[in-house]
Structure 1
């Protein structure tokens, strides 16, 4: 008898990735991965900002107690908030660009559909319609 955990493990890993692995290996760039990675990028960037500011604060305390306290209570919070704003605005800009690109793709698809309908209408105009059946009130 086989172990049920062994059978479901690959599907569990695939569901956790959510197709991200396959999308990362898409050499033709048919799927957009950047939007899916924005939350992870946000966490990494905020963590990096916090690490840099913590390093600055520790270095300031190594120089002097007063410089460390000024860095801890004044400089670090200002830089952290400014950094958060900058990171958030940058990532929201990236997200907006990808949303615009998706909307442009949708508009292109719609215009192709409309072009198809117009081509059908033009083809129907070429059909020979006997006089009196055109639907005009004057013909009748």
Structure 2
């Protein structure tokens, strides 16, 4: 029996299951997404589900420690183009999203200068001055960095 949500071996806490034939050498670990505590059933999603939960406006728990601190957007080496009209730049921003990490707050360093603190979810924007840019996020004992360019 497999949990259809996690793809892991269904546990007693999984509400649903499907039957799948799995080779003995590939039997998955027991599902740890579903838990029952004090008669209350909960689902805890891995950190990679942050964007989906935010966009779906779902009330759910995320296991942020399930993945190391990772900057999801922008991607390494991205190039962004500003609007040719300077009057439009006030409406432009670089969207940043990070997942994982071992704390609920993080420090953001933009171009080795600007530092500010963010709280979960790690979703924020950066200004769009032209040039090669670096954004570094430090969360507890972990850090992630992305380099991109704004033209």
TM over 0.5: no
Instruction: Select the structure that is richer in strand.
Output: 2
What is the TM-score normalised by the length of structure 1?
0.21
Rg larger in structure: 1
Which structure: greater helix fraction?
Answer: 1
